[in-house]
Structure 1
């Protein structure tokens, strides 16, 4: 396991200080806490309060306030229901006594049932694509001052099928595909794999809703943030092998963009689906 990945997992698998109370910390370099981190930490906390044979199958959360990476996060788990087939948990993440995120999660033991799925798109294999870390390392040499260390030091491997120029964004169809993987064997614990999948799921969804417009998150004065996030886990899968994250955005309006995503294994098995609404406020003209 790489040093960066080891550090990430230690941050996501947060400290339990009471039966339903957990403490989490964040990397120090981002300007605010990454939404995927909060999703993953909340999922981990809730999972520790549920029988091990029941795994999370759905998670619906709202980002209420930006998180401060320099402060610890307190996660309060509410054991709403332990039913015969399903277990429900509510988690609130707080900083300085104020809620910054809340989520509801549902857990179920594995069982047989009807099955069908959508077909995975055909895209370039990940081995033929440049990783984000490689790209930003190259950009640091070609365009000094553009890149900070966090762009080059990434514990999760990401390989976009088509790469957008975030500083000079050209409008395009609101569809994109990323290959993701954890670049080391992380064992067989299904909670860890779902936790890391939740972490990955917050990358690129917001940006998908901006593809039809000449703006990106790097546009000066552009105000962007995730507002809510949902993820459904359909099947067991490992995140330490390549997963294709295919995303689209069917609508935007009212300062908000809507995006959907699907995670497929390399052999085309749909393992999870996501949905997100994001804030997208265009810079106001000074005229």
Structure 2
């Protein structure tokens, strides 16, 4: 039996506005402020990634669009305090522009990121893989409508996720976390159709930052399924350490794309996961990588 609206359906939950999150305001020359939109104690990592990319993009020419972001999460961000972003103009070339962004709350550094921008150009092109065939997102139910109460167990984690992150997601296969909750190991792979919950404006920077926001969702947890553990396993300590995004072609973050994730290594209290984002035709649009802390206290 699916979750009822009273126990976790997204229609009964006030979802964060991704457009509002990404709309950082200028506070001075190369200085911006982003508000936090979450009921969680800590700021969702994708929020700072998306806001940092937006802040950096506000300082480059419109014909230079983001192609990569490399971020290090220094301290957990507080959700009741805005994040201030200071942009340093590292390089402005004919083809590439580079910015370093420091996100802070008071004297506490939350994120340090490097964002690179490139003017569009033509050249050699190929990709070595395409997406594994999957049912279309329209043929799949919303995750919160597809899971029985017995499989889900305690629904609080899902309500917390839905109220914290403005991303809609649908899984072509069983979400490995559900099997892990039953004590069953799974391969370190998972995939979901994802998009922002709301339509975004037409600015390409908004959609690049919108995917940066979405890209943090589930990624690190892909390393846990072989161990039959999940992020809410008692004693589990999970924290993102660094995160990278490479954008291969323009796309809209408010349209459905298939996000494949592979947690290919875990050890020494850390795990590493990679991600690939495909369109409906199997074209690779973006790649991600994340390392994080995964250990028992």
TM over 0.5: yes
> Is it true that 1:163 corresponds to 2:163 in the alignment?
no
Report what 1:258 is aligned to: 272
Is the 2:89–2:99 contact (alpha carbons within 8 Å) kept by the matching residues of 1?
yes
Structure 2 segments unaligned to the other structure (5+ residues)? 1-10
Alignment partner of 2:203 out of 182, 189, 192: 189
C-alpha RMSD over aligned residues: 2.3
Is the 1:228–1:278 contact (alpha carbons within 8 Å) kept by the matching residues of 2?
yes
Distance 1:6 1:226 in 2: 21
1:235-277, CA deviations, whole angstroms, 9 ceiling, x for partnerless residues?
1111222100011122111101011000000111111000010
Report what 1:132 is aligned to: 143
| Cα 1:57–1:147 shift into 2, 3 Å | closer
1:61-86, CA deviations, whole angstroms, 9 ceiling, x for partnerless residues?
10111110011111110111111211
Distance 2:229 2:220 in 1: 12
Report what 2:131 is aligned to: 120
Query: What SS does structure 2 have at the residue aligned with 1:262?
Result: strand
Query: What SS does structure 2 have at the residue aligned with 1:219?
Result: coil
Report what 1:237 is aligned to: 251
| Cα 1:241–1:18 shift into 2, 3 Å | same
> Is it true that 1:44 corresponds to 2:54 in the alignment?
yes
Is the 1:139–1:146 contact (alpha carbons within 8 Å) kept by the matching residues of 2?
no
Post-superposition offset of 1:96: 1.8
Structure 1 segments unaligned to the other structure (5+ residues)? none
Query: What SS does structure 2 have at the residue aligned with 1:244?
Result: strand
Alignment partner of 1:248 out of 243, 262, 277: 262
> Is it true that 1:106 corresponds to 2:116 in the alignment?
yes
**Paired positions, count:** 281
Is the 1:249–1:260 contact (alpha carbons within 8 Å) kept by the matching residues of 2?
yes
Query: What SS does structure 1 have at the residue aligned with 2:138?
Result: helix
Where relative contact order (Cα < 8 A, 6+ residues apart) is larger, the structure is 2
Post-superposition offset of 1:147: 4.6
Is the 1:133–1:152 contact (alpha carbons within 8 Å) kept by the matching residues of 2?
no
Query: What SS does structure 2 have at the residue aligned with 1:261?
Result: strand
| Cα 1:101–1:185 shift into 2, 3 Å | closer
| Cα 1:169–1:275 shift into 2, 3 Å | farther
Question: So what's the TM-score if we normalise by structure 1?
Answer: 0.90
Q: Compare 265-274 and 143-152 and name the one that shifted more.
A: 143-152
Query: What SS does structure 1 have at the residue aligned with 2:41?
Result: coil
Question: So what's the TM-score if we normalise by structure 2?
Answer: 0.87
